[in-house]
Structure 1
Amino acid sequence: MFTVSQTSRAWFIDRARQAREERLVQKERERAAVAIQAHFRSFLRRSQLQKDIRKEIDEFFKADDSGSSKRSALCIFKIARKLLFIFKIKEDNERFEKLCRCILSSMDAESEPKVWYVSLALSKDLTLLWIKQIKDILWYCCEFLEQLKPEILQDSKLITLYLTMLVTFTDTSTWKILWGKGESLRPAMNHICANIMGHLNQHGFYSVLQVLLTRGLARSRPCLSKSTLTAAFSLALRPVIAAQFSDNLIRPFLIHIVSVPALVTHLSTVTPERLTVLESHDMLRKFIVFLRDEGRCRDICESLEGCHTLCLMGNLLHLGSLSPKVLEEETDGFVSLLTQMLCYCQKYVSQKKSNLTHWHPVLGWFSQSVDYGLNESMYLITKQLQFLWGVPLIRIFFSDILSKKLLEHPEPAPTQPASPQNVLPVKSLLKRAFQKSASVRNILRPVGGKRVDSVEVQKVCNICVLYQTSLTTLTQIRLQILTGLTYLDDLLPKLWAFICELGPHGGLKLFLECLNNNTEESKQLLAMLMLFCDCSRHLVTILDDIEVYEEQISFKLEELVTISSFLNSFVFKMIWDGIVENAKGETLELFQSVHGWLMVLYERDCRRRFAPEDHWLRKDLKPSVLFQELEKDRKRAQLILQYIPHVIPHKNRVLLFRNMVSKEKEKLGLVESSSASPHVTHITIRRSRMLEDGYEQLRQLSQHAMKGVIRVKFVNDLGVDEAGIDQDGVFKEFLEEIIKRVFDPALNLFKTTSGDERLYPSPTSYIHENYLQLFEFVGKMLGKAVYERYDGDIADLGLTLSYDEDVMGQLVCHELVPGGKTIPVTNENKISYIHLVAHFRMHTQIKNQTAALISGFRPIIKPEWIRMFSTPELQRLISGDNAEIDLEDLKKHTVYYGGFHGSHRVITWLWDVLASDFTPDERAMFLKFVTSCSRPPLLGFAYLKPPFSIRCVEVSDDQDTGDTLGSVLRGFFTIRKREPGGRLPTSSTCFNLLKLPNYSKKSVLREKLRYAISMNTGFELS
C-alpha cells in the first residue's frame, strides 16, 4: 500500500508534466499561427504585386500603336522581365502575344539601334540577362506551339507569330544591327544563336515541332500555310546543319521530323524549295549512312514504334524517288535500312484478331498500339510506300538483272492448246535448272555459273529479301505490291534466268539443300525463290488466256513448262523427304509460295494445255508404293494426295477414290453380305413432280440413309406405277433427271455464264421458298451421284466501287467497300475494283447458296476424297467424260446373250447404225436408254458395272422367261420364231442390258431403235 506522502508526490509530478506539455502545445500553435499569417500576408502581397505588375504591363501595351515601335529595347526588356517574373500560361497568354508582337515590331524598325531588341545583346551589363530572357521567351513560344491547333484560324495566326519569333532569334540573317559595319559582330552573334538553339534542343524543341507538324499535316489536306510549313521545317533543319550533321542531331531529326506523316509529300506540294535544301546538303545520303547501321536503325524503330516507322519509311522512299542518283550509289545501304524497318514492324504483325491486337489499315492486325490519329493521312503514307514497288525504284534495284539480255526466244507457240508434238524446245539456259548441283559446301567453287557468295548475287538476294519482307509485313496492300513488281514484263523472266544460273550448275538440288542449312545465305536464296513464285503466281492469275497463250506476256510457254517441272519436283521432294511434315515459319511460307505458284500453273494447264502429255506425273513414284504408304497411314503419302495429287495418274486416283468409297460402305454396313442385308429406303416419285417429290422424300434422310440403298418407284402421268423393279438403274435415271432439272436456268436456282455457259448459283434464287434447303438438297444429290459412281449430265465495269444489280425489276446498289458508291474507280484502284467485283459476284453474293450446297454435298463425300482432283477432273468425276461415246471401247467390252455374238448380222447392223446413222446426241440417248446414264464411265466401259450386255429376245417382256437352248440356237443361226417387226427394243438399266429383237432388216432396226430411245418412258416400252 502507498502512503499519503507518496501519492501526493506522484500527483504533483504528473500535474507538472501535463502543464509543461500544454505550454509546448501552446507555443506550437502560436508559431503555426504566425507562419500562417506570414504566408497569407505574403500571398496577399504577392497577389497584389502580380496585379500591380500586370496592370503596369497592360498599361505599357495600351500605348498608341504609332509609338509602340519607337519604344526602346531597354523598355521592352524591362517589361518582358516583369512579365516573365509573374508569368502564368493561362492568365498571361494575351500579354505574351503582345510582348512577342512588340519585340518583332522593334526588330523591324529602320536605322534605330536603340529600338532593336537584339541590340541589348551587345551591352556588357545586359548580355547574359538578355540571353536568359530570350531563351525563356522562345521556350514559352514552344509551349504555346505545342498547345495550339492549326485548323483553328486564331490559333493559326498565333502559330505564325511564335514561329516568326523562333525563326528571328535562332538565326542572325535578319538582324539589321549586323548589317554594314556590324558584320564583324556576326560570328559572336551566331555563337549566341547556337547557344539559344542548344537550349531549346535540350528542352525538347524537336518534340514541339513534331506535334505542330503532325497536327497540321496528319490529314488528307494540310492546314499549315506555306509560310508556316516553311518556317517550321527551316527551324528543324537549323540545328542539324549548325552541328554539321552530327549523329546526335540526325537521330532526333529522324525520330521527330522525318517521321511526320507524309511530310515530304506536303513539302513537295506546298513548299518544294525546302526539298531543294535537303538535296543541296545531300541529306538522303546522310540518312542512309546513319540508318544502315543495324544498331542505330533498331534504336530509331524502337523509339518510333511500328506506326511511325512506316511514316519514316514513306518519307525516305519519297526522298529516294526524288534523288535517283543517290539511290544508285547507295542501293545496298538503302535496301538494308528498309529491310530492317520492315523486319521490326513484322515482329508485331499478327495473322488474326486477339485481345492484344489492334487493326492497322496497312499492317493488318498489329500487336503494338496504333495511333488512330494517323488514319486520315494513311492514304498519303500508302502512296509514299508505293514508291518501293514503283517502276523507277525497281529499275534501280534490279538494274543488274534488267540490264542483261535473255537468250533469243523462238517464235511464239501456236494459239491452240499445246500438245506433245507442238511444245517448243526448252532453252539450254533453263535446262540447267534441273541439272544436279553440288552440295552446299561446294557451291562456292568457281566451277561454272554464278558463285553464290558473289557481290552480284548477294545484292539481288538482299533486294529480294526486302520485297519478300514487304509482302509479309504490309499485309493489307500485298496485292498492290505484287502488281507493282509484275508491271515490268521482263523482270520475272530475267529473275528466273538469274535463279537458273546460281551455283556451279544451278537447279533443284541447290534449293533443296538450302532447306537443311539454317544459314543467312540459304535464307536469302530461298527468299529469292519465294519472291519469284509469289510474283509469278499473281501475274499469271490475272492474265487471261490470250495474254498467256497468244501474246505470251512475261513468260513464253516453253518457260512455263520448264518452271512447272522445277516446281513440281521441288514440292514433291519437300513432301517426300519429310520437310513439310514439321514445317513452320519461313519453311512453311516457302512451301506455300512454291506450291501456290505450282497449282496456278497446273490449273491453267487443266483448262487449256500448254505442257506435254504426262508432264505433271512423277515417273519415280509408283502408285502401288503410294497406296501402300496410305494403307500404313504415312504422313507423306497423305500430304501428296492433299497438295500434289496430280503426280499420280488420273486413272489411279479415280480407283483410289472408289476404293475409299467402297471401304466406307463396308464400314457402314451398306454392302450385301452373307450375314446381313443393308437397309433399303423406298420412295415413290411422280414423273410430273419429280423435283418436288424427290425434295420432300429425301431432304429429311439422315447422312447414313443417304449413303445407303434407295429404291425408286416411278408413277407415270396417268397415276399408274411404271413397270420394272429398281435394282439401281431406276434410281440412276431419277438422279440424272432431277439433277438436270435443278440445274436448268429456267428454275433460277442456277445461272449460266456467257460464252461457255458454265453454271453458278443464282443470286436471285431467294425467290424460291426454302431456297437454301433446296441448295442443300442439290448438294446431297450431287454427293449421292458421286458416291454411287453415277456419271450425270451437269451441264460492267462501273464507275464507283459498287455493283448495281437488277433484282425483280428494281436496281439495287451493293457497295463493294464502305461508302463505295461515292468512291470513283481510278487508275490507282482499278485492280482492286476488279478483285472486289469478282469477290462480290463469286463469293459474297452467292455465299449462302454455295454454303448450303456444300453442306449437302460434304456429309456424303468427304473433302479429302475429292481434294486429289483438279477442278476439271472433279467436274468429270461428277458429270462423266464430256467426250463422244467411244463405240470401239463399248464394242470391246460388250457381253452377248441369247445367241447373239460379235459377228451376228443384227449386232453388225446395230454398231453400223450407231456409228453411221446416229448423231452424237442420239448415241448419248442410246447409252442412257440402256444404262440410264447419257455419258460414258469416267475410265471407259471396262469400268461399267454390270458390263454392257445385248440379249436376243423373241417375245415381249411380259412373256420373257429367259434364255433357253432353243432360243439361243435360233438367235445364233438367225432363225426367227416369228417376225419381230412390231416390237421395240427394251432395256434393263439396272443390269445395263439391251433386249434386242432379231430384226430382219437394218432399216427396221434403225427405225425401232431410234423411236425407243427417244420416248424416255422407262420400262413402259415393252
Structure 2
Amino acid sequence: MYDTENDRTTFLEKTKAARLEREHAKKKEDSIILIQSHARKWLAKRNIRQQILKEFDELIHENTELKCCKQIYQLAKKFLWIWNKEEDKTRFEYLCRYINASLDSKSPSLSYIGVFLIKEHTQTWIAHIKNILWKCCLYLSDSKIDSADMKNVLVLLHTLVSFTSTNTWSLLKNNNAILISLDQLCHNFMGHLYSKGFYSVLKDILMKGLMRSKITLKNVALSGVITLATRPLISSGLSDKLIHNFLTHILCVPALMKHLEQNAPLISQYLKIKLPPYFFLSQDILMKGLMRSKITLKNVALSGVITLATRPLISSGLSDKLIHNFLTHILCVPALMKHLEQNAPLCLKQFENEEVLKRCLEVLSNQEEAQHIFNKLEGNYVLCMIGNLIHLSYLQLNSHMKEVKFPLYTVVLTRLLSMLQEYVSNKQSNLTTWHPILGWFAQTYDPKLTESLPLVKSQLFLLWSDLMVDSLLTDPLQVVLKSADESAGTVVPSSQPTGSSNIIKICIKQQTQLIVIHRKRLLEDGYRQLAKIPPHSLKGIVRVRFINVQGLDEAGIDQDGVFKEFLEETIKCVFDPGLNLFKVTSEERLYPSPTSYLHDSHLQLFEFVGRMLGKAVFLGVVVLSFFLSQVLGYTSQALYSCMDELPSLDTDLYRSLTYVKHYPGDVTDLDLTFSVDEDVMGRLVTHELTPGGKVIPVTNQNKINYIHLMAHFRMHTQIKHQTTAFIKGFKSIINPEWLSLFSTPELQRLISGDNSPLDLTDLRRYTVYYGGFHDSHKVVLWLWDILNKDFNEEERKLFLKFVTSCSKPPLLGFAHLEPPFSIRCVEVTDDEDTGDTIDLLDFLLLQFVTSCSKPPLLGFAHLEPPFSIRCVEVTDDEDTGDTIGSVIRGFFTIRKKDPQHRLPTASTCFNLLKLPNYQRKSTLRDKLRYAITSNTGFELS
C-alpha cells in the first residue's frame, strides 16, 4: 500500500514539474517575442527617422532654393513627427529660414502660404503652423539671449512676426480677395499662442536681454518682441484681459520704455500711434479695474499703469500741460489714492519725491486753468478729484504739505467747492430725485460710480480729521490769536467751567436706542433688533430692557450696566462652540467655524458678531480670547506667512506639516496628495489645494509648496467668507486706523483682558464704602475673607459680574474702574452708622442717584434723563434693595429688623454692592453665593 502511495506522489510531482517547465518556457518565449518586437520597433523608428532626416537634409539646408510648397509641407510634417528638441535644433532653424524666405514669393506654388489655398490641406496646415509657432516659443524660452544665440533668436522671432500679420506675405499683394480671411487666420494664430502663455515667453526674452549691465538683445530683436507683444493687444481692441497681461508681463520689465527710446525709436513711435495716449489708456484701465465692488486690477498691474501715466509727466519736468492731463484723466478716478495706499505705496512715494501734489495745486490755483479742468469733468468726477487731492495731502502731512497747506491748499479747495456749488445751483434738479453722490446731482445712474462712493466719502471725511484740521489751521489760528491778544482788553473769566471735553459731550446729543430682550432668547432678540441699527447709531447709546422667564420686565434700569451684561452674555452665547459659529483652538482661542454655513444666514450672523465685539471694545468690555491676525489685516502684508501663524490656530496640523517638512525619507511613502479631506455631517468632502490636486502626489521636490498651500487653506481659504463678514462688522464700529496702532498681542489684551486670576488686593485697594461700612468693619472683613478663601476662581468671576456686569477686571486694573467699586450698608442702626454724615449728605445723594457728585454743566435742566423719585411701600421680604426707600433709610439711619432673610443686591451701572449688615459670616457666605449663582438677572438689582 505504501509503495503505491509513493509512486502516486512521485508521479504527481513529475507532472507538476513538467507543467511548470512548460509554463516557464512559454513565458520565456513570450518575453523573447516582446523584446524582439520592441527591438524591431526601435530599429524601424530609427530607420524611419534616419530616412526622414536624410530627405530633410537633402532638401532643406542653410541655402536652399525655393521648391514646391506642397513637397516642403509634406516633408516638414514628417520632420515634426519625429522632431527631437535637443537634436534637431539646427534643422528646425533651417525650416524656419526656408518658410520665412518663401513668404517673399508671389507664386502660390512656392510660397508656404500656398498650401493653405489647397482645400484638402487647409485644416492640417493651420494646425501645422500653430505647432511650428509654439516650438519657436519653446526654443526662445530656452535661449540665453546672448551673442552666440542671437542668430537663432532672430530667425525664430522673424517666424513669429511673419505669421501674426499678413504684412510680409507677398502672395497677397495681387490677391486681396482672401486678405480678410487670412487676417482672421493670423488672429487665430495669436489667440493660440496667447492661450499657451505667449506673454510669459516674451517677458522671459526681455528680462534675459535687458536686465544686464550690457544689453544683449539687439535692436531688431527688441523691436520684434514689442511688435509681438502689441499685436494681440491692438487686434483685440485693447480688451481688459489682454491689457492685464500686457501690464503684468511687458510693462513690468525694468526701464523698458527707456530701452525702446534708445534702441528702438521706431517701435516707440509705433506705440504712440497705435496705442491711445498714456493718460487716456491709463484712465481707461483704472476705471475698468478699480470702479468695482471687488477690485480686478492686481497690484503689479496698478503699479504699471501709474508708472505709465507718470513717466511723461516727470520727464517733462511736470509741465502745466501734462499736469492738466494728469488731473483730468488720472486724479479723477474715484478713490485712486486709497487704492494706491493699500496696493501700490511706492507710487505714492514717487508722487511725494517729485512734488506732484504741489504742482497740481499750483496749476489749480489759476482761475482759468481750474475752470477749464472743471468744464472737462462732470460734477461727480470733480468731487472724486477733490477726494484724491485731500487723500494725497493727508498722506503727505509730514512733508511737503507744510509748504503748501495755507493759503494755497485752502484757496484751491474752496475754489473747487465753489464751482461745484455753482454747478449744482445751475442744474435743474427735482429734489425728490435720487442723487448718486452725497445727494447733490440728478443725472444718469452710474452703477460703477455708485460702488465707489463709500471710498470717495471716506476720502472727503479726511478733510475734517484731527491731523488735517491741525495742519491746516494751527498756524493761521496762532496768528489770529496773537493779534487778538495784542488788541484785547481785560478778560472777564467765565463763571462756568469750559473744559473742551465737557462742551463736546454736551453738544453731541446722541439718539438713544432701546431694545427689549427676553432672557431665553438673548441671541435671537439681539440679532433681530440690533442688526437693523446702522453702525453710526450703534456707536451711540443703546439701552436694554430685559424680560424675565415669567414674561415680566426686570427691575434693572439701564445706565450702561444692563447693556454691558447683555453684550457679555450675547458674545458668550455666539462664541459657544456648540452653536457652531466658532471653534476653540488648543490655546482656548476662538476662530470662525469652517462649517458655519450649516446655519441659515451665517454670514449675516458673523457680521452681527463683529459689530458686537466692536461695541464691546468701544465700551471697554473684555470678552473671550479671539484669533486676531485676520482682523488686523496682517494677511495682506508682504511678511505675513500662514505657516508662521498656523500654531495659533491648529497646533496639531502645524506639527504634522513640520514632520512632513523634515521627513528624512521619501515623502511619497506618506501617500499624500495636494488635497485635504473634511468630515462634514458624516460625509467626506475633499478640497483640492490646487486644480487637480487629488491626483498630484506630494514629493520631496514639491513638499514645501504643499506645506504652504495646506497652511493657507487652513488659515485663509477655509474661513475666508466668515472672516470677511466678521471683519466687516467689526470695522463698522472700530475705525481701522485705530487698529493699526496695535500689534496682535496688544489688541488681544484690549479685547480679552488678562488671563491672570482676579486680583482681590487691587480691588480692595480701590473700594469705596458707604452707609457705615469701612475697611475694618466686620462684615467687610468677612466679605474679603470669603472671596479669598471660600470662593473659587469661577465664583470670584461671578461675583465681579454680579457687581459690575463684567466677569473680567478692567484692562489697566481696578484703579481705572469707573465709577469705583463701592459697598453700601443698606440697613444700619444709629450706633453702627459711622460713614455718612449730614455734611456729606448732599454730595453722596447726588452721586448715588446720578453717579456723578457734581451738577450738570448747564444746570439740571440738561440732566438726561431727568431726576425722578418713586414712592415704594414694601415689607422686609418684598424689599429688593435698589429702591429710594432703602436709600433714605440708609441716609437717615432708620432702624430695621435683623436682615438675615435679605440677599445682597447690586447696581451694576454704578458698580455698587448693597450688603445687609449680617450678624454671622456663614449667613453672608451662603447669601452671597446664592445671589451670584442664581442667575436672576436684574431681579436682585
Query: Which has the larger Rg?
Result: 1
Give me the TM-score of the superposition, normalised by structure 2: 0.44
Give me the TM-score of the superposition, normalised by structure 1: 0.41
